[in-house]
Amino acid sequence: MRLLENKTALITGGSRGIGEGIALKFAEQGASIAFTYLSSDEKARALEAKLESLGVKAKGYKSDAGIYAAAEQLANDVVKEFGTIDICVNNAGISRDNLLLRLTQEQWDEVIQANLKSVYNLTKQVIRPMMKARSGSIINLSSIVGIKGNGGQSAYAASKAGIIGFTKSIAQEIGSRNIRCNAIAPGFIETDMTHYLKDGGAEKWFEKIPLGRFGKTEDVANAALYLASDMSLYVTGQVISVCGGMNT
């Protein structure tokens, strides 16, 4: 028996990187997959085909995670198409790294909207079908930067720290309805988001990783699978660091 048989997962930012890794991992375990993206139409169509080739129902939705009305529309569309939402992964995110002296209001707002408001937007929508089903698992992508901070990433770190406070509060609000809410705090995972660091300052991170390597999207997807599945039925309000020991 696969771990996510008969479940529907909604994953934001599924067209690339960690979101794509989670979509593939969940599909391998039997879940139907609804995923979102912002502009990568071709990658989204390719992922739909890949997921379908694994024998599951899959659909990509172009939907801006930072816009409340878009999240409302998305949740309605997914419930209409898939019947319910059992698992929600708030993964969509961006980084706009800059020292505070140079960080503009626009950059601050952009990061907070895409990374933090997005989590409010969609969580508020998915708890309705989950309450009806009296079960659900919400997984939010934070970062170890949200725990430790990082010079040059104040907006990003604030958004990721905000996700942790939100996750713990929501876990307390909806635990009695058998809906769980947890966060994953990845370290340095090899994706487009971190690609530019590998050309420059990657070494300073690398030296701080006890397991001696950068993370792969599959490392994060494995933690997401645990939190999505019944393997973690007694786990809520927690932050799991997937960072090769960086946050120790």
Which residues touch 29 (CB under 8 Å, ≥6 apart)?
2, 3, 4, 5, 225, 229
Q: Which stretch binds ligand NAP (CB under 6 A): 75-83, 92-100, 147-155, 224-232?
A: 92-100
Amino acid at the residue 129: P
Nearer to ligand NAP, 14 or 136 (CB): 14
Nearest approach, Cβ of 177 to ligand NAP (angstroms)? 26
Q: Which stretch binds ligand NAP (CB under 6 A): 3-11, 34-42, 51-59, 104-112?
A: 34-42
Catalytic residue chosen out of the listed positions 37, 68, 120, 156: 156
Nearer to ligand NAP, 38 or 54 (CB): 38
**Rounded alpha-carbon distances, angstroms, from residue 244 to 101, 144, 190, 206, 231:** 32, 11, 13, 10, 22
Q: Is 189 in the site for ligand NAP (CB under 6 A)?
A: yes
Query: How many residues of this chain bind ligand NAP (CB under 6 A)?
Result: 30
Nearer to ligand NAP, 5 or 201 (CB): 201
Nearer to ligand NAP, 211 or 233 (CB): 211
Q: Is 191 in the site for ligand NAP (CB under 6 A)?
A: yes
Q: Choose among 73, 118, 69, 76: nearest CA to 93.
A: 118
Nearest approach, Cβ of 188 to ligand NAP (angstroms)? 5
Q: Is 65 in the site for ligand NAP (CB under 6 A)?
A: yes
Nearest approach, Cβ of 202 to ligand NAP (angstroms)? 11
Query: E strands along the chain, which residues?
Result: 8-11, 32-37, 58-62, 87-90, 136-141, 179-186, 239-242
Nearer to ligand NAP, 21 or 129 (CB): 21
Angle at 155 between CA 151 and CA 156, to 5 degrees: 80
Cα–Cα distance, 224 to 89 (Å, whole number):
8
Of residues 4, 11, 15, 155, which one binds ligand NAP by CB under 6 A?
15
Footprint of ligand NAP on residues 94-133 (CB under 6 A)? 94, 114
Cα–Cα distance, 36 to 51 (Å, whole number):
14
Cα–Cα distance, 127 to 143 (Å, whole number):
23
Nearer to ligand NAP, 179 or 189 (CB): 189
Q: Is 60 in the site for ligand NAP (CB under 6 A)?
A: no
Q: Is 204 exposed, middle or buried (0-12, 13-18, 19+ CB in 10 A)?
A: exposed
Residue 226 a catalytic site member: no
- Interface ranges with ligand NAP (CB under 6 A): 12-19, 36-40, 64-66, 91-94, 114, 141, 143, 186, 188-189, 191-194
List the catalytic residues: 156
